[in-house]
Amino acid sequence: MNQPPRLAWAGVGDAESSESAPPSVDSKTLMGGRRELIIRHGADAYRLRVTASNKLILTK
C-alpha cells in the first residue's frame, strides 16, 4: 500500500525549542520523492509542487 511519509518534527518533546520556533520538516521528507502533493486544510485543498527549477509552489 502507498502510505504517506512519516514526518520528523524538530523540537518535538523539547519544551524550550517548541516555544521558540515552529516545527521544521525537510521538503524531501514531506514530498516523499514525489513532485507534488495535496494538502487538505478544512474544506480546502492546496497543491504543493516542485517546479522544474526546484522551487516549491503552493496553490489553492
Supply the DSSP string of 1-32, one letter for each residue. ---PPPP--TTTT-HHHHHHS-----HHHHHT
Alpha-carbon gap, residue 30 to 37, rounded angstroms: 9
β-sheet bridge partners, residue 46: 39
Question: For residue 16, is pLDDT > 80?
Answer: no
pLDDT band at 43 (very low <50, low <70, confident <90, very high): very high
Q: Which residue has the cell 492546496?
A: 46
| CATH 2.10.70.10 fits domain 27-59 | yes
pTM: predicted TM-score of the whole model, two decimal places: 0.64
Domain extents in the chain: 27-59
- Indicate if the pLDDT at residue 18 is higher than 90: no
